[in-house]
Amino acid sequence: MKTRPPTATEDSAAETAGQFPFGINVEGLPCIKCPARTSDLCGALSDKNLPALFQASTLIELRKGETLFLDDQPAQHIFNVITGTITVFRTGPSGQRQVVNFLFTGNLLGITPEDHYGFSAEACTTAILCRWERAKFEDLLILFPNLDRQFRLISSKVLARSIDLAYSLGQLTAEQRLAAFINQLHERQSKMASDPMTVLLTMSRADMADYLGLKVETVSRALSKLKVKGVISLPASDRVVIIDRDHLRRLSQSA
Amino acid sequence: MKTRPPTATEDSAAETAGQFPFGINVEGLPCIKCPARTSDLCGALSDKNLPALFQASTLIELRKGETLFLDDQPAQHIFNVITGTITVFRTGPSGQRQVVNFLFTGNLLGITPEDHYGFSAEACTTAILCRWERAKFEDLLILFPNLDRQFRLISSKVLARSIDLAYSLGQLTAEQRLAAFINQLHERQSKMASDPMTVLLTMSRADMADYLGLKVETVSRALSKLKVKGVISLPASDRVVIIDRDHLRRLSQSA
DNA sequence: CGCTCTGTTGAGCTGTCTCAACGGCCGTGG
DNA sequence: CCACGGCCGTTGAGACAGCTCAACAGAGCG
């Protein structure tokens, strides 16, 4: 893609430092706020400038089930998931819940130019995140044009995933949705998976059901069907092993 | 919301003109490319600078059914709908189609920082749009910071609508989806509607079905049910009159 | 050890789909 | 001008996927 703004190479701007706005120590990577450059934002910054980003953030920890924010709250913070799983969802007036995304290590959360979040988020497992004041984060976007670009790309991927979900919900059967879901998790976990064919289901069946627009029983049945077909195995309820990758792929597509 | 970048008031930048980058005539509003300031982008620019935006665009016309672009094509253009209805959709490998949005007068199309669109668009009715080269449009975003801000807000609304759709598809029954859909159209058309309680269905039942994750017969039946209940009337197949607004609202919500 | 919570499985029910027929509208051609 | 054919929307009857209600087993925890 053609890069429009005629900005400097690499991280630009703050290269002209000496006067880092947060007075940080540039040494000592990796830092605990972004171990092994896991954040989705890292691609935008060099080892040299990465600390400037994370020094501006605060670490927070959530227990399973704690809410991070609700949709009608003012969007004061941006978050980055360090460990654990976060559930992003919308609730209806009669208590129904549609999960719109699961967030894992490295994923960004709270992106919006509006003054309210417009969606809710809670801890699906115990989780550690780092949190920026929104104003401070926006300063960083100005300071590092590459970061801003990366940020826009991430926003675009969020939309793409949301369209994928709509496609799943509108066009696929229960079994196909499950297959597509496992494939999605597989892809997202492949970077840091221990075993290349194992997918971790860090969320409950209820959370999966709320994401896939199904009931828990249906999720359970669909998983069983995939197991009986020999496409996957379930060594534990939170662990799927993909046996026939191509078959799983096909299942997630055809009608 | 707190506006971060310390930019000038109003449209900023090009105020220092004399050397307008596109050598246009600032007089003569409204122009045919944006009659009555209908574009979603207009909020960002004054009458004085609006022509700079639209002078940089080309008018194009599409007949009903013609495709504007496909998801795997390079994202070279940004569009603004002037008249007609555009269908934005994703297709599956076996020909299934999930409509993710309908676009009307003023709506923006083709927004993405990626090099490919990632979704397809076609004319749902005969339509007129104006089209920008993407590079040129991005120049304008830099020239007018207010425009850039408006652009981000629009992108955010696109995501919000996509989340709404996922909620509908995952949590609502056929009748509820129809009710919600009619409400949505009602809100979007209220600005320029002739009759305040009439909603125009400019798309076919098939398009509605592909949007709502239903079959045409189910759409038809759901509309009939709403009619029998006395919530709406259907003076023509492309025209809904809302009789009981509150009831329709309630139907689109509760389980 | 017993409690609760989560996940699985079964049986019957219901909403949506499938298949089919039909009527109205519109463009085409006699 | 009317007759015809194709397309679109509506309605009915039966099929089926996913839901509801219910029972039960295993894991986690006090």
- Under 8 Å between Cβ of A58 and A109: no
Query: Cα separation of B3 and A250, whole Å?
Result: 48
pLDDT at B102 over 70: yes
Q: Give Cα A213 to chain centroid, integer Å.
A: 19
Percentage of residues in chain A with pLDDT exceeding 90? 75
B155 vs A155: CB contact, 8 Å cut-off? yes
Q: What is the pLDDT of residues B26-66, one digit of tens each?
A: 444 456 788 888 899 888 888 888 888 888 899 999 999 99
pLDDT at A17 over 70: no
pLDDT at B68: 97
Give the pLDDT band (50/70/90) at residue B255: low
Please name the amino acid found at residue A43: G
Please name the amino acid found at residue A124: C
Task: Give B31 CA → D6 C1' in Å.
Answer: 41
- Under 8 Å between Cβ of B76 and B52: no
**CA dist A37 → A33, A132, A152, A177 (Å):** 9, 17, 19, 32
Go through B150-171 and write b for each residue having 16 or more CB atoms within 10 A of its CB, e for each that does not.
Answer: bbbbbbbbbbbbbbbbbbbbbb
Of A152, A166, A255, the CB nearest to B96: A255
Average pLDDT for A14-39: 53
Nucleotides of D under 7 A from a protein CB: 8-13, 17-22
pLDDT at A31 over 80: no
Average pLDDT for A118-125: 97
pLDDT at A74: 98
Chain B residue whose CA is closest to A90:
B167
B4 vs A138: CB contact, 8 Å cut-off? yes
Query: Cα separation of A83 and A125, whole Å?
Result: 9
Kind and range of the H or E run holding B141: helix B134-143
Nearest to A242 by CA among A178, A172, A191: A178
- Under 8 Å between Cβ of B36 and B103: no
Between B133 and B1, the higher pLDDT residue: B133
In a 13 Å sphere around the CA of A193, the CA atoms on its Cβ side amount to: 17
- Under 8 Å between Cβ of A159 and B162: yes
pLDDT at A179 over 60: yes
Q: Which of A12-16, A93-97, B73-77 has the highest mean pLDDT?
A: B73-77
Nucleotides of C under 7 A from a protein CB: 6-11, 15-20
Average pLDDT for B162-173: 98
C-alpha dihedral, B99 to B102 to B108 to B109, nearest 10°? 30
**CA dist A210 → A99, A101, A146, B100 (Å):** 5, 10, 36, 20
Chain A residue whose CA is closest to B91:
A167
Between A29 and A222, the higher pLDDT residue: A222
Task: Give B196 CA → C28 C1' in Å.
Answer: 38
- What average pLDDT does the structure give for chain A? 88
pLDDT at B23 over 80: no
A4 vs B100: CB contact, 8 Å cut-off? no
CB distance under 7 Å to strand C: residues:
A 204-206, 216-217, 219-221, 223-224, 234, 237-238; B 173-175, 213-215, 217-218
Name the residue ranges covered by the structural domains of chain A.
13-166, 172-251
Of A4, A93, A156, the CB nearest to B135: A4
pLDDT at A51: 84
pLDDT at B52: 83
CATH code of B173-251, in short, is: 1.10.10.10
State the DSSP code for B21.
T
pLDDT at B22 over 60: no
CATH class of B25-166: mainly beta
Would you tell me how many other CB atoms lie within 10 Å of the CB of residue B47?
12
pLDDT at A7 over 50: no
Strand D within 7 A of B217 CB: yes
Give the pLDDT band (50/70/90) at residue A227: very high
Query: Cα separation of B165 and B105, whole Å?
Result: 20
Beta bridge partners of B241: B198, B233
Average pLDDT for A88-114: 95
Give the pLDDT band (50/70/90) at residue A24: very low
| Torsion B1-A100-A158-B108 (CA) sign | negative
CATH code of A172-251, in short, is: 1.10.10.10
Report cis status (omega within 30 of 0) of the bond before B113. no
Strands A67-69 and A58-62: unpaired
Give the pLDDT band (50/70/90) at residue B146: very high
Percentage of residues in chain B with pLDDT exceeding 70? 87
- What average pLDDT does the structure give for chain B? 88
User: In this predicted structure, which of A92-101, B8-17, B92-101, B105-114 has the lowest mean pLDDT?
Assistant: B8-17
Of A96, A118, A166, the CB nearest to B166: A166
Residue nearest the C1' of D21 (CA based): A217
pLDDT at A187 over 50: yes
A98 vs B166: CB contact, 8 Å cut-off? yes
Query: Cα separation of A142 and A155, whole Å?
Result: 17
State the DSSP code for A35.
G
User: In this predicted structure, which of A21-25, A144-148, B147-151 has the lowest mean pLDDT?
Assistant: A21-25
Q: What is the pLDDT of residues B185-238, one digit of tens each?
A: 999 999 888 899 999 999 999 999 999 999 999 999 999 999 999 999 999 999
pLDDT at B31: 66
Beta bridge partners of A242: A232
User: In this predicted structure, which of A7-16, A127-136, A155-164, B103-112 has the lowest mean pLDDT?
Assistant: A7-16
Go through B173-196 and write b for each residue having 16 or more CB atoms within 10 A of its CB, e for each that does not.
Answer: ebbbbbbbbbbbbbebbeeeeeee
Helices (H), chain A: 50-55, 134-143, 145-171, 174-189, 205-212, 216-228, 245-251
Strand D within 7 A of B206 CB: yes
A159 vs B155: CB contact, 8 Å cut-off? yes
**Overall fold of domain A13-166:** Jelly Rolls (2.60.120)
